[in-house]
Amino acid sequence: MRQTSLVLTVILTFFLLSCSHKIQPPTLIAEAWNVGLLIMDGVYNTELTAPMDIFQHTQYREGIRQMNVFTVAKSKAPVRSFEGLYMLPDYTYSTAPPIDILVVPSAEHHLDTDLEDTEMISWVKRIAASATYVTSHCDGAFVLAKAGLLDNSASTTFPSDIDHYKEMFPHLEVISEVIFVHDGKYITSAGGARSFDAALYLCEHLYGKEIAERLAGGLVIDWDLSSVPHLIK
């Protein structure tokens, strides 16, 4: 069974690589927010697709500064999510356009080996320096903390990893029992399905309550910021 799975993976990878030259990055809307989602092997589906869904749907709302949504990875090689979804990145670290909103979803190894990826950590730190907002979901906060971005900001992470987060970064102000924290340009969230809440909050922050409710309604989500445990500093 394992051998069959390996063969199928090799075949799929070959197919994706062979046709990757046909896949073009998305057409960017002029004057829109550029939203870059960092992906890598082991990225969790929901924490990637939740903000992608919410932000991409701003393109169907008139009268606002819409969002260009794209993925960024270390290379153009296929990325496999933790749940098994294969995807081809839109851009690499070196080819991505300027990013206004950086999104760091959680990935399988954000508590260990990913934090040793100096190229990735350096890229996140560099992009964050010029980004207007930097958001993380679940253990994506570990990446931001490793890059030194949260030293002066309150933050949160996946509920069951709060203690580990405090142990690894004892100098941080860590907030528990909330869905998200917004401090300065940084928005960190508990992740999972509540990643939708953090994404909708940013939209409400940028566009107002009515637009956020319409975006939520388009995805059949009941959105009421007052009912979501959060901290805004």
Comparing CA positions, the residue from 172, 24, 169, 39 lying closest to residue 103 is: 39
Predicted local distance difference test score (pLDDT) of residue 6 = 52
- Cα distances (Å, whole numbers) of residue 143 to 19, 81, 113, 165: 32, 17, 11, 11
Tell whether 120 is covered by a domain: yes
Please give the Cα distance from 118 to 51 (Å, whole number).
25
| Number of independent structural domains in the chain | 1
pLDDT at 22: 60
Mean pLDDT of 227-231: 98
pLDDT on residue 26: 85
Question: What is the domain-level CATH number for residue 148?
Answer: 3.40.50.880
Residue 16 forms part of a structural domain:
no
99 C-beta neighbours (distance < 10 Å), count: 25
Is residue 3, in this structure, part of any structural domain at all? no
Among the residue ranges 17-31, 60-74, 211-225, the one predicted with the least confidence is: 17-31
Q: Is residue 2 part of a domain?
A: no
| Distance (Å) of CA 74 to CA 14, 128, 142 | 19, 16, 18
Residue 90 belongs to some domain of the structure: yes
Query: What distance, in Å, lies between the first and last C-alpha atoms of the chain?
Result: 52
- Indicate the pLDDT class of residue 7, thresholds 50, 70 and 90: very low
Neighbours of 208 (CB within 10 A): 11
Residue 109 pLDDT greater than 50, yes or no: yes
pTM over 0.85: yes
Say if residue 15's pLDDT is above 90: no
User: Is residue 170 assigned to a domain?
Assistant: yes
CA distance linking residue 189 with residue 7, whole number of Å? 37
Higher pLDDT, 118 or 6: 118
- Asked, for residue 152, whether it belongs to a domain, the answer is yes
Q: Looking at per-residue confidence, does 25 or 153 come out higher?
A: 153
Range(s) of the domain holding residue 191: 25-232
- Tell me which residue has tokens 């990735």: 120
43-96 pLDDT tens trace: 999 999 999 999 999 999 999 999 999 999 999 999 999 999 999 999 999 999
Any domain includes 211? yes
Interatomic CA distance for residues 110 and 63, integer angstroms: 38
Q: What is the pLDDT of residues 154-188, one digit of tens each?
A: 999 999 999 999 999 999 999 999 999 999 999 99
Q: Quick: pLDDT tens for 192-201.
A: 999 999 999 9
Contacts of 190 (CB under 8 A, 6+ apart): 137, 138, 156, 157, 158, 159, 178, 179, 180
Secondary structure letter of residue 43 according to DSSP: B
Amino acid 223: pLDDT = 97
